[in-house]
Structure 1
Amino acid sequence: MYWLDVEKQRKMSFKPELTISVEDNPPRIRFSDNGPGISEQYKDRVFDLFFSLKDKSRRRGLGLFIAREAAEHNGGALMLDPDTLNDEGRFSTFDYRVVEGES
């Protein structure tokens, strides 16, 4: 939400959109937005503890780290979708692979 707000401040005509989809093959939840996205240079660091590009007064660098840890703790995986890029060629979709239930 932070980066959608930043984009709105940069471009007054910007209309923030967040898309959440639930898919079953493979079971996963995908989160996409039309914000500025994540550049190639940061794709391997966004899940690192205390990594953040927010301004110093707002940065903590814990959110994506905790989300990935929680996903892994539950047997799933949280990652950037390497195949979904926005118009600027930046990553714009997070993919949470869900653990399939046992029968």
Structure 2
Amino acid sequence: MTPTVVLHGYEAVKEALIDHGEEFSGRGSFPVFDKISKGLGIILSRGNRWKEMRRFSLTTLWNLGMGKRTIEDRVQEEAQCLVEELRRTNGEESFVL
């Protein structure tokens, strides 16, 4: 048996997650997944390991550019590179590794 809390209504959820965020920050256990993953990874881990992995992942993604530019900007940049390459090769077939 595992103690479970069920929250109903906007105010109850808001109070729990904002005013008592640390107490409600835990994640439930799934024995089958725990056996397979051994508690590792981002999705299936819990406790301090989960917090550390989440912090590391968000920092790494931020350093790689997540949240700094929109996907539209990236698509346009890649499209421009493709157009430049096509102009350079006059549309001829080329093999690039």
| TM-score in terms of structure 2 length | 0.23
Higher relative contact order (CA 8 A, sep 6+): 1
CA radius of gyration, larger in? 2
Q: Which has more helix, going by share of residues?
A: 2
Tell me which protein shows more strand as a share of its residues: 1
